Amino acid sequence: MKYAYFPGCSQESTAEEYNRSLQAVARRLEGIELVEIPDWNCCGATPAATVNPDLPHALAARNLAIAEEMAAAEGTEMEVVAPCAACYKNLRKASHVLRDDPEMLARVNAAMEGHQLGYAPTVRHPLDVVVNDVGVDNVPVAKPLHGLKIASYYGCLLTRPEGGFDDPERPQSMDRLMTALGAEAVDWAYKTKCCGGAIYMTEEEISFKMSADVLAHAKAAGANAVAVGCPFCQLMLDLYQPKLEAIRHTTFDMPIFFFSQLMGLAMGLDRAELGLEKLVIAPFELLARTVDAPEKSTKPKKKRATKLKKWGEG
Amino acid sequence: MSQQGTVRLGADLSPEMQPIGEMVALCYQCGTCSGACPVVAAGGMDYTPRAIMRLLQAGMEEEVLSSQTIWTCASCYHCVVRCPRDIEITDVMTRLRNVALRKGYKARKGKVYNEGFMDIVRAHGRVWEAELVVRYNLLTNPLNFLKLAPVGLTMVRKGKLRFLPDHPQGRAEVRGIFDRLEGGVR
């Protein structure tokens, strides 16, 4: 299946490794092809609606209209895939609004030159595609992630507003993926608490408190790494982790992986394709004593993984 | 949903606030939103979301539009998924920010950040983080650059900062969208 891929601004800068690892993984997954939407524009993030309520829908409409043109040229249906949780939410919301509100559709089409939106394609997150189109058991695992205890962090916009691919209060898709990759999925209370990324620039202190809470809970639950599907969550928890440690007078020492990087690791991809070197909290020591350690030393940990898995199923 | 039939608590909202008032007419003050809010938990709101709902019902728009809360809302939708009255609280906050900007309420940081962000998108078609950071800090607190320097260096070292903006070919089209939208963007 071909998908119209909307990378989003962060995937070209702060989260280049997300883009790189996701594309590398997608190339190896059967039946998945990500075709970049040519000449895409910014989704408007949160500021667009503050400045003008119609603006996020109009900015999304141009991207969705180009995706429609791609699909027409291919002669097939094409859903849009957006890896950034903020882009995903903006495009998804716009797609719903523009399908239901002909007046809004007319307004944004009147504001566009060169493209016109018709049916507004469905918008999906790559985690949704992996879990529901590929299936977690069809991910070809070559090197199970034994020893990694992953706190799957969904943050706010991966599952909210409601109506997306997973439960907004108790999502499981990333946990299921992590278990399928051979890691231990840690159960924890803060998986859907917001990191505060959207207010970082204007309200640094509040956002740091929010992010520190997330890491403290992941650590207390016994995780040794966090998996995310959003460039802002990753930036807040990784780049600013030393600051979060300073305000909490503690050490987290917690690598923050994009879920696509963990997929690539488990699939045995060349690590240069995964951009692990770009993580600020370097994961190499953790990987050396877990995933890359001789099988013997990981045995006791395997046992615990089975135990927790049972709870999850029951 | 009309406000007709609800208890009249105070003054009427001004015409541009009326649609926002209608969005919160069903609120019965359970406070679930405030309990779900991570910003409230971090001590970042002067009025809780529940209080904002009540102030709107009471027609006290001055308090609402000059509140810190509308600017510190992280737009995380946690209140929305838990609201038993299905009130779109996040959208209410966004609409309130929009009205506060248009009415010229004092919100220096919010104004510089939100309008600056969209100016950059208007100019380049995409966000250019480096310009956003420089512009925001120059206009709000230039001393902040000292504090930002170590993080900036880390970002440069890790190749996470673009020194030049991305320029999609269609950026004239994007600019056109800004210019043609009803009522303009400012």
Residue B43 pLDDT exceeds 80: yes
Give domain status of residue A218, yes or no: yes
Mean pLDDT of A281-290: 97
The reply to whether A220 and A79 lie within a common domain is: no
In a domain, A242, yes or no: yes
> Are A110 and A152 members of one domain?
no
Count the helices and strands in chain B (H runs, E runs): 12, 0
Q: How confident is the model at residue A255 (pLDDT cuts 50, 70, 90)?
A: very high
Do the Cβ atoms of B98 and A51 come within 8 Å?
yes
Question: What's the pLDDT band for A282 if we cut at 50, 70, 90?
Answer: very high
Q: Do the beta carbons of residue A131 and residue A176 sit within 8 Å?
A: yes
Query: pLDDT tens across A68-100, in order?
Result: 999 999 998 899 999 999 999 999 999 999 999
Q: Are residues A202 and A307 in the same domain?
A: yes
**Helices A16-28 and A259-266, packing angle to 10 deg:** 40
Structure tokens belonging to residue B143: 């001393």
Assigned domain for A135 exists: no
Question: What is the DSSP code (8-state) at residue A130?
Answer: I
Q: The domain containing residue A214 runs over which residues? A: 140-313
Q: Which residues of B touch A54 (CB under 8 A)?
A: 181-182
| CB spacing of A239 vs B43 below 8 angstroms | no
Q: What is the pLDDT of residue A302?
A: 55
Which of B109, B118, B181 has the CB atom closest to A47's CB atom?
A: B118
Report yes or no on A133 lying in a domain.
Answer: no
Co-location of A167 and A99 in the same domain: no
Arithmetic mean of pLDDT, A47-60: 96
For domain B15-102, the CATH class is mainly alpha
Q: Is A69 inside a domain boundary?
A: yes
Cα of B118 to nearest chain A Cα, Å: 6
pLDDT tens column, A146-200: 999 999 999 999 999 999 999 999 999 999 999 999 999 999 999 999 999 999 9
Within 10 angstroms of residue B172's Cβ, the number of other Cβ atoms is 11
Kindly indicate the confidence band of residue B11, based on its pLDDT and cuts at 50, 70 and 90. confident
pLDDT in tens, B46-100: 999 999 999 999 999 999 999 999 999 999 999 999 999 999 999 999 999 999 9
> What is this model's ipTM?
0.92
Kindly report the number of other CB atoms within 10 A of residue A197's CB atom. 27
Cβ <8 Å between B158 and A280:
yes
* Residue type (1 letter), A107: R
Q: Contact, B43 vs A205, CB < 8 A? A: no
A210 contacts on B by Cβ (under 8 Å): 38-39, 41-42, 74
Segments of chain B assigned to CATH 1.10.1060.10: 15-102
State residue B182's pLDDT score.
Answer: 63
State the pLDDT at residue B186: 44
Q: Quick one: which of B152, B146, B150, B157 has its CA closest to B132?
A: B152
Which of these three, A124, A151, A168, is where a domain ends?
A124
Residue A120 shares a structural domain with residue A144 = no
Query: Looking at per-residue confidence, does B161 or B90 come out higher?
Result: B90
Q: Out of A119-128, A197-206, B160-169, pick the least confident.
A: B160-169
pLDDT reported for residue B2: 47
Number of structural domains, chain A?
2
**A129 occurs within a structural domain:** no
Residues A63 and A94 both lie in one domain: yes
**What's the number of CA atoms in the CB half-sphere (13 Å) around residue A296?**
0
Those residues with Cβ within 8 angstroms of residue B17's Cβ, 6 or more apart along the chain or in another chain = B56, B61, B99
- Best mutation site among A6, A9, A193 for testing chain B: the one with the most B CBs within 10 Å? A9
Residue with the larger pLDDT of the pair B169 and A239: A239
Report DSSP state, residue A287: H
Q: Which position has the token pair 């929009």?
A: B98
Structure tokens at A253: 């020492």
The predicted pLDDT at position A294 comes to 85
- pTM assigned to the model: 0.92
Q: In the predicted model, what is the mean pLDDT of residues B112-139?
A: 94
